Amino acid sequence: MSRKNHSLLCLLTGIEPTERVDFADRQIRISIAWVASYSPDNEIILPKNCGIKPPLLRG
């Protein structure tokens, strides 16, 4: 999770769904990004939605 220019970003990567591959038989991975305006409430809520414990902010 990071904070820049009054915005918060939480990025989850490398989620590997079972039995999902592309045409070349490579494992498909899913990434999810949450972007929110900075506020003290969002600084608490967004990490919970991302499954991490605050304060893990950089920036």
Which pLDDT score, from 0 to 100, does residue 25 have?
Answer: 92
- Residue ranges in the chain whose pLDDT is less than 70: 52-59
Which pLDDT score, from 0 to 100, does residue 50 have?
Answer: 73
Q: Which of 27, 1, 26 is nearest to 12 (CA)?
A: 1
